[in-house]
Each structure stands twice: as structure tokens, then as C-alpha cells.
Chains A and B, each alone.
Chain A
Amino acid sequence: MTVNTATPDYIVDGVLTDGEAWVALGTATPSSANVTFTSSTGANDWSQYMDLVIICYARSVGTGTWKNITTTFNNDTGFSYQNQHLYGNGSSAGAGVTNPQYTGLAYIAGAGATANVFSAVKYDIFDINSGKYKYVHTISAADSGNPDTVWTEIGTWESQAAITEIDLVTSSGFAAGSRFDLFGVLPRMVS
């Protein structure tokens, strides 16, 4: 895990300057482990961002051709999440609504998928420091062979708390070669 705690580039000698709206906050390269991102200091102090984005390329150690990733915020594992998904698996499309103990459900290749196949997932997490419920858009594509699945989800964490931790979990952990890149998205207030 690498975490960017440097003084943000958009602050020069204490003066706010226009800079990159996406700030690279951290990268996780797990091996048979799950992933936790946590707010800390410097650029990785999440209180300064409007949104967060996670770009993921992952495979699970879990058995079978595909596995799920689930997402929780601030260690909340209660039934605090609402999700509406839409998917296609090569032969049919479907949708559904769930109220589980997680959000950000995504499908990735499992240990039984073709060797070297990893899956792409993107998370957009909105207005993370507001007093609103927190929304996450998830889109994933798993060329896992049985079935190949594209899965999208709109999820809500029913909490007004600022997001300070994100846990991404799959059965038995993520395989070596997986990577997760976290970005903070800055706002720009114009008077």
C-alpha cells in the first residue's frame, strides 16, 4: 500500500493555486488480502475532496470462476445500504434492488477463471463530506468465462457521516497482481 501524505500540489507557500482536480491518494496491491483505504494527512486528508474515485483491476483468490467485491464505509456493517443494480451476462439482462450490509457490489474473476484474467471495476463516490447520504456508482466487467458479466450498481450508504474509511472485500482476498488506485476529486468554488 502506498499513500500520498505529501503537502498537496495545489497549495504553494500556503496559497491555493489551480491544479489537478484529481489527486492520486493511494495505491493498494494486495496479495491474498482485502483492501482498506483510510483518510490520514496531507493530500490523503479526505476532508478536502468533493468526490472519491477508485479504479480497480482485480482477481479474487476465492474458488469459482467469479467472485464479488463488496464495499463498506467507516466500518459500518449494518443494514445501512440501499442498492439498485443492472446487469448483463451474455444471454440476458436483469435488474434488482437490495438492502444488504454493503454497497458497491462488483463482479470479478475468481481463482477458477482463465489464468491471468483480471476484471475492471470503477467506483465513483459522491459528496463524501456532506451531511447527505453517500452515493456510489459502480461498474464492473468480469471476463471470467462462466458467466461473463457486466454489472452496474447505484448504491447509497444511509449515513450523514463523512467518509473516512473504505473497505473492499472479496472471498479469500484479492490475488497477487490486483491493484486499486484511489483518487480525490477537488471542487472549485468560484466567487
Chain B
Amino acid sequence: MAIIEAIETVYLEADTASVTFSSLGSYEHLQIRVSGRHNSAGGAGHTIYIRFNGDTGSNYSTESMQGYNGANTGADPYANQAFVYAGGRITGPLTPAAENYGASIIDIPDYANANKNTSMQQRSGTTLDYSSGSYNWFSGSVWDNTAALTSILLYPPSGSFLRGTTISLYGIKSS
């Protein structure tokens, strides 16, 4: 019996505003792996926004800690947002190298449970996403809703995911 299964990989052959996974399968946990870039004019590296089950209400909160732009460290709250902030990190048009796509891992445990809010953790980063800017970003988020997840929407704050972005969804089974 396979323990970790690939549910779906989305490889973007054209710029695309968002990616939605709506067939989440029957697993215990989910993991999303992203290699991404956005096309919003004038934009450097940025976060990935995430919504669950189409909920556009202010029901998402995030805490992050990061090392960035060299020796800088920080920790930030993003309470009562209409999306998961810091869902991941992607590069943008100001990123000097066109071949530079940011990388993220998003873990969503116990996503099918209908009695608990959905909590998740994200690890992401970019190097040289603008000038000398780089990010090493950890974050944890909660969706203040006990519903089981039925869909996951990922999108950049503005513009679209750039052609060549890959987003893969994996399911992890229990014993």
C-alpha cells in the first residue's frame, strides 16, 4: 500500500491566475510542493495566497518568522485575513534571473476532519528575488472553520502565476 501518493501535478504551460485542487482524495494529510514565479509588472518576490472551500471571509490567520535580505530577521502576524498569507514564496518580474522560481512546501494535516479548524505550516524561500533580496520563510496558518477541506485555491496577490510554475498535491495515508 502506498503511503504517499501523488494526487495531481499542475504544470502551467501559460500564465494562469490561479490553481485550484478540487479532488483531494481520501488521505490523512496533504502536502503541496511549489516551484513558482508570478508575472505582476513591477513585482519582486511575493507570497502565495491560499483559500479553502471557496471561503472569501476574513477567517484566516498566519504567523511567520523569517530571515531575509541578508542578516535581517523578523516575525509577523497576519490576523483575520481573507486568505492564508505567506502560503509560500514565489519570485517575480524584478527577480533578475528569469530562471529563478521560488520553492515552497505546504503541509496540511488532518484536512478531512470535520470537527477541527484547519491548521497548516509552510516553508518557503527565494534567493535574489530582487536586487539582493532573499527570503527564508517559515509560517503557520489557521482557517477558522471546522469544515473538511474540499478545495484548495492558490494564487498570487496580483497578476498570474508565470508559465513554467509547477504545483503538486500529495496525499499521505495513515496505517
Q: Which residues of A contact B (CB under 8 A)?
A: 18-22, 50-51, 82-87, 93-97, 124, 126-127, 130-133, 135, 137, 139, 152-156, 158, 160, 185-190
Contact = CB atoms under 8 A, between A and B. Distances in A.
Mostly, the A contact residues are strand
A76 to B, nearest CB: 15
B99 A154 contact: no
Contacts of A20: 2-5
Given A84-B135, A154-B127, A155-B127, 18 more contacts: A19-B2, A20-B3, A82-B128, A84-B134, A84-B136, A86-B136, A94-B71, A127-B166, A130-B101, A131-B99, A132-B35, A132-B99, A132-B164, A133-B101, A156-B100, A185-B33, A189-B9, A190-B8
Contacts, number: 137
Contacts of A50: 9, 33, 166, 168
A21 B123 contact: no
B68 interface: yes
14 contacts: A82-B134, A84-B67, A84-B68, A93-B73, A95-B72, A95-B136, A97-B69, A127-B35, A135-B127, A154-B127, A155-B127, A156-B127, A187-B6, A187-B11
Mostly, the B contact residues are strand
Contacts of A84: 67-68, 70, 125, 127, 134-136
B61 interface: no
Nearest to B102: A135
Given A18-B5, A127-B35, A132-B35, A187 B166 contact: yes
Contacts of A131: 99, 164
A133 B127 CA distance: 10
A70 B170 CA distance: 29
A137 B71 contact: no
Contacts of B68: 84, 95
Contacts of B135: 84, 154
Given A130-B35, A154-B103, A188 B168 contact: yes
Interface centre among A84, A95, A139, A154 (most CB of B within 10 A): A84
A51 B4 CA distance: 14
A131 B11 CA distance: 13
Contacts of A126: 33, 35, 103
A21 B67 contact: no
